[in-house]
Structure 1
Amino acid sequence: MATYAIGDLQGCLDPLEALLEQIRFDPAADRLWFVGDLVNRGPQSLEALRFVRGLGDRAVTVLGNHDIHLLGCYFGTRVARGRDTLAPILEAEDGDELIDWLRRQPLLHHDPGLDWTLVHAGIHPAWDLPTAQAAARETEAAMQADEPLTFFGEIFGNQSDHPDGNTTPIDRQRFAINVFTRMRYCHADGRLDFAEKRPPADADPALIPWFAMPERAMAERRIVFGHWSTLGPAKARANAWGIDQGCLWGHQLTALRLEDEALFATNCPGAQKPKGGK
């Protein structure tokens, strides 16, 4: 039995199937952890979403920024962008069922037996595990409540960028969405930066990758995340494994076996050219 964390799919199902063949995935024994961004910009968003949902309890996925964007488009609070490949989902006969399933996926997953934590973008440096879990639970409950238009009408935006000062529930939930699905860099005071997407060697030196922040509360815990395709090779950085290797851009789809930190990858044909990140 093995557990494989798999980097951002973004609608690239064929590379996923090739990767599962390479690792000899056994659906009767193995488990898959998806780091989010199951959909968008790749050619098979609908098929990828159906495939992951069809894995049932053999798979865990957390939500990424593109998944949240899809939900916003479905509920009419977001507008599809030019490079989006979400229309087949929104128009599918089983689209409502897929959206309902996606809306009920977590923002954070922690396995105490493996002692690994799964998120899409990261965990704020000031948060320990109980704090991060509480923020995720509150936000997931609001997202899954009976008033989705209220939630998805208010959680998009850059105004919630610091863990302090979020006095209302929607401010806290917006900050949690920004942390779990959008974060790359922090300022020295812990404020999120939403603009910089380049690798650390090219970025503003005043900005700090979230996993490199001094006195990070979860520095001793193992985290696996995606989201940052320009970060560089898949490897541990202060116990945080970034495994988005830019499959969408014609690079690789990567799997990390959590039990022994072995890496596997398959080459991807690529569907789009990057324009400054994602």
Structure 2
Amino acid sequence: MATYIVGDIQACFSGLVKLLDSVGFSARQDKLIAVGDLIGRGPEALETIEYLYSLGDSFETVLGNHDLHLLAIYSGIRKAKPNDKLDLLLTSNHIEKYINWLRKKPLALQPKVDILITHAGLYPQWSIKQALAYSNEISEQLTGENWQSFLSIMYGNLPTVWDDKLTGAKRSRFIVNALTRMRFVKDVNSLNFDCKTAPKDANPNLTPWFAVSNEKLKSLQKVIFGHWAALNGSTHTRQAIALDTGFVWGNKLTLLDLSTNIRHSIKYKETQ
């Protein structure tokens, strides 16, 4: 039995299937975990969700910003844009089933005692235990009766700095942003949402979250994440493993075999 972790699929179903076939993935004996952004910008949103849903207990995922955005669109809180490419999914006869399935997914997973999976990473002031606890706070809201009310206060960039005393919408919004939108931080702990480039092209006053010293992250612990295609899978640190390699932008889709730590990729041009 193998456990595979796949980077941002973003509705590229054909590429996902070819990548899984290349490693001999079997839903009967293997496990597939996604780092979020199952859909968004790719052409096969409905096919992607149908397939992942069909895997049952052989599939797990954390929610990414595009997945949360889908929930908000379905709820009438946001309007779909043409480049979201969600029309067929939103008009599916099974959309309610898929939405209820998605909103039960967490923002953070711990597949092994020393590994954390989130869409964007680990805020430098948090431990893995804290990230999981904060993820649970959001899950309680997403699975509750008033889950759509929660989505209505989810959007916004403030606050940018974590404080244990945060409550209500501000607390929830920071948790969502840190776990699904974070890339750079400024002045050690302030989230920045404007810059999406590779670190080498960023303003020198910005630091990738994984390059900030985190005293709460133990030496053998690792964080596996997606979201940041500009990294092209490289963080130059053993503890942060980036799996978004920009397939939807014409680059490649990457899969990590958790037992061997071997990465498998398929190039976009190989699927055309």
Scaled to the shorter chain, the TM-score interval is over 0.9
Question: Which secondary structure state, in structure 2, belongs to the residue aligned with residue 83 of structure 1?
Answer: helix
The equivalences for 1:184-199 within 5 A come to: 184-199=183-198
CA positional deviation for 1:158: 0.4
Structure 2 partner of 1:136: 135
Structure 2 partner of 1:73: 73
| In 1: Cα distance, 2:164 partner to 2:54 partner | 41
| In 2: Cα distance, 1:117 partner to 1:251 partner | 25
| In 2: Cα distance, 1:235 partner to 1:168 partner | 33
CA positional deviation for 1:149: 2.6
Aligned residues between the structures = 270
| In 2: Cα distance, 1:78 partner to 1:166 partner | 29
**Equivalent residues of 2:232, 2:246 under 8 A apart:** no
**Equivalent residues of 2:107, 2:135 under 8 A apart:** yes
The reply on whether 1:105 has 2:105 as its aligned counterpart is: yes
TM-score (norm. length: structure 2): 0.94
Evaluate the alpha carbon distance shift between residue 212 and residue 219 of structure 1 in structure 2; reply closer, same or farther with a 3 A threshold: farther
CA positional deviation for 1:91: 0.8
CA positional deviation for 1:76: 1.0
The equivalences for 1:138-177 within 5 A come to: 138-164=137-163, 167-177=166-176
CA positional deviation for 1:7: 0.7
Structure 2 partner of 1:25: 25
Structure 2 partner of 1:266: 266
**Equivalent residues of 2:226, 2:243 under 8 A apart:** yes
**Equivalent residues of 2:224, 2:243 under 8 A apart:** yes
**What amino acid maps onto 1:96 in structure 2?**
E
Identity of aligned residues (%): 36
Structure 2 partner of 1:276: none
Taking only aligned residues, the RMSD between alpha carbons, in angstroms, comes to 1.7
Q: 4+ runs of 1 displaced by more than 3 Å?
A: 233-236
TM-score (norm. length: structure 1): 0.92
The equivalences for 1:1-278 within 5 A come to: 1-112=1-112, 115-164=114-163, 167-218=166-217, 220=219, 221-234=221-234, 237-269=237-269
After superposition, what is the alpha-carbon deviation per residue over 1:95-137, rounded to whole angstroms, capped at 9, x for unaligned? Answer: 0100110111110000235x32111111111001221111100
Question: Which secondary structure state, in structure 1, belongs to the residue aligned with residue 177 of structure 2?
Answer: helix
| In 2: Cα distance, 1:57 partner to 1:234 partner | 30
**Equivalent residues of 1:251, 1:270 under 8 A apart:** no
| In 1: Cα distance, 2:96 partner to 2:7 partner | 26
After superposition, what is the alpha-carbon deviation per residue over 1:153-207, rounded to whole angstroms, capped at 9, x for unaligned? Answer: 1011101211127622221111111011100011124010000000000001111
Q: Which runs of 5+ in 2 are unaligned?
A: none
CA positional deviation for 1:216: 4.6
**What amino acid maps onto 1:100 in structure 2?**
N
After superposition, what is the alpha-carbon deviation per residue over 1:15-57, rounded to whole angstroms, capped at 9, x for unaligned? Answer: 1110011001122221111010001111101110111111111
